[in-house]
Structure 1
Amino acid sequence: MVTAQETSGAGDADERPFIDVALVRDLLDSQFPQWSRLPLTPVLPGGSDHVIHRLGDELAVRLPRHRGAIGQAEKERDRLPGLAPRLPLAVPVPVAVGRPALGYPWPWAVTRWLGGEVATVEGLADSTEAARELAAFLRALQAVDPHAAGPAEVRETLADRDAATRAAIARAAGAFDAGATTALWDAALAAPAWSGPPVLCHGDFHTGNLLTTDGRLSAVIDFGSLGAGDPAVDLMVAFTLLSPRCATVFRTALGVDDATWLRGRGWALTSGLIAYTAYAADSPRIAAATTRQIRAALAGPGDLPPGDGGVRDALPV
């Protein structure tokens, strides 16, 4: 997920250090010589936040592309070893954190390699099994004391993203109806706030951070946005991956109330719009994914039918 802060420097040259195989090899050789003989292979296209290389058969090297991803290596090192045994899907447990060196300015990580393929709408959108597995993962994550491994980062709120979201609505007005997007955003901001204690949230729970093996969900990656807050943020997966029917299955399995679902639509909208305006012009892949996400948020897949307390009738669809 792109945060409001990340977009301000998304195109700045000094925010995007040059990273190639030679640099990664030199960093490994100088800091972790025990792995110097292992083959190193770029993983393409990689992620919007990290350049990724496979190291041998069992490891991966992940280097932040921009300042918005700084700190993820240390966060995952501190949090994921304790979380991994409590979650029903695999997560990328770090084995080492590298230091800035050789002109590369930020900490970077070596993690366990997770095999599989990135989840796709074509493969999983209509899978009720995947919808239930996603709900089970979030239930397990939310059951973990967010402060078990020390004070958890407090996640940003929808209100924190208001200015950036309205700016993105204006910038994307040629692609998405500004009246409809503004109406949904206003409704999400006005929805009753989360009344429970802050829970542990992945924070970037979307299709690109899910892996599959043999057509089934197998892993969740990229915990850089992990923190304590409103669980609505993790509902964005329903709008990036699932069909309307399976979004309803997901919502029912997770037991999401109307207000939380509406805030989840707001999270899907803001993250989709900000990513669209930052990356769509240069990446057809991101353009297609965020367009689907925004349209799904506007349509409200997974809303309960009238009579079940749904909010859909009050919003543009």
Structure 2
Amino acid sequence: MTDSIDSNAPAPQLVAEEVLRGQGADLSGARRGRGWTNATWLTDELVIRVAAQPGTADLLREERLVRLLPREVGYPTIVDSGVTRGHEWVLTRRLAGENLEEVWPSLDHTDRSRALDQMWERARHIHRVDVAAAAPHARSRSPFFPETAGDVTTALDRLVKAGELNTSQAKGLGRSLERFWTALPGARKVLNHGDFCTPNTLWNNGEVVALLDFEFAVVAPVAIDLNEMAKMAFGPGDPEERAPLRDVVGRIVEATLDTAGGPDVLIGYSIMLEMWMLANELAADDPDEADRATAAAMLRAFAEEDGGYFAPLLAGLR
């Protein structure tokens, strides 16, 4: 961004420039941030997120939700929000730190384990938010998970037709998902972050200081967030990278799994998320082949109905 507003720039950038200029920000020092659903820019003191498309989006709803979060979550102070040129936007104070995904390769195993432990500790404060207060401002449903058993069957059929699963694998996944739907009513619902991962975590001076980006927050069993934690240590990938994380993740899962609905609910959410990931990559113009391969590997392993990649995690808990 520059000091002058470029009238030919995309609308989200024009919105960001107008809002930041109104705050007296140094536009020449602003840089583009991460994000795949919203456009983000950062100055030394401020962060602005702008909806990529005009009309009703998630940002103003998210703003109302995060005001309910306890300070232990670390969410940055909201400065202002609004709608400009038809695009929702939210302006916050910038917190010191770096995106955890970006610094992850530079961390040793001890730092990584500590990071996951601290991520979950902050997430626990999200899970304690009053559900009745949060529900009007959370998503009514997550886009990552089919709403009904029929929707799941349709999605599995599509993956078979695409050649990513065979009929036997689809049947195995279907049986696991039948167990999921049976167990689901007994799982207590909480507020989940809904996109709980290292890219939505801020790291500073060896500590997790904040969880960010709550646009996918949803009221559901805590297994939604717990699955993301389990996958970090037990999903496909280099065992030398994942194995050192298993002690801390194992303790987290052991302490949480009963309230999350048990193994069937955890595995069901994991299957559905990987189905969404795989379908999303299949439909992408420029698919991420690593994500595609990981999702396919997770699904084919779960199709064996022995816990898949989570079998070592669940072996001592069943």
Normalization by structure 1: what TM-score? Answer: 0.70
Deviation at 1:53, TM superposition (A): 1.2
For 1:252-271, list aligned pairs within 5 A. 252-256=254-258, 259-271=261-273
Question: Do the aligned residues in 2 keep the contact of 1:71 with 1:224 (CA within 8 Å)?
Answer: no
Which range moves more in the overlay, 30-39 or 19-28? 19-28
For 1:105-254, list aligned pairs within 5 A. 105-114=86-95, 115-119=97-101, 122=105, 123=107, 127-148=112-133, 151-153=136-138, 154-156=140-142, 158-160=146-148, 161-163=151-153, 165-166=155-156, 169-170=159-160, 173-174=163-164, 179-180=168-169, 183-191=172-180, 192-242=183-233, 243=242, 245-246=246-247, 247-254=249-256
For 1:74-89, list aligned pairs within 5 A. 74-87=60-73
Which has the higher Rg, Structure 1 or Structure 2?
Answer: 2
Give the 3-state SS of the residue equivalent to 1:237 in structure 2.
Answer: helix
In structure 2, the CA distance between the partners of 1:24 and 1:93, relative to structure 1 (3 Å rule), is: same
Give the 3-state SS of the residue equivalent to 1:107 in structure 2.
Answer: strand
Aligned counterpart in structure 2 of residue 95 of structure 1, from 70, 75, 79: 79
Post-superposition Cα deviations, 1:87-121, rounded to whole Å, max 9, x if no partner, equal 3xx224432223141xxx43122223243123266
Alpha-carbon distance in structure 2 between the residues aligned to 1:76 and 1:183: 37
Aligned counterpart in structure 2 of residue 60 of structure 1, from 22, 47, 67: 47
Give the 3-state SS of the residue equivalent to 1:151 in structure 2.
Answer: helix
Alpha-carbon distance in structure 2 between the residues aligned to 1:201 and 1:91: 15
Q: How many residues align?
A: 281
CA RMSD of aligned residues (A): 3.7
Deviation at 1:65, TM superposition (A): 3.1
Aligned counterpart in structure 2 of residue 73 of structure 1, from 59, 81, 93: 59
**Counterpart code for 2:51:** P
Matched residue, 2:239: none
Alpha-carbon distance in structure 2 between the residues aligned to 1:162 and 1:62: 33
Alpha-carbon distance in structure 1 between the residues aligned to 2:155 and 2:109: 27
Question: Do the aligned residues in 1 keep the contact of 2:82 with 2:90 (CA within 8 Å)?
Answer: yes
Structure 2, unpaired ranges of 5+:
1-6, 234-241, 303-307
Alpha-carbon distance in structure 1 between the residues aligned to 2:132 and 2:98: 31
> More helix by proportion, 1 or 2?
2
**Counterpart code for 1:128:** S
Identity across matched positions, percent: 18
In structure 2, the CA distance between the partners of 1:181 and 1:163, relative to structure 1 (3 Å rule), is: closer
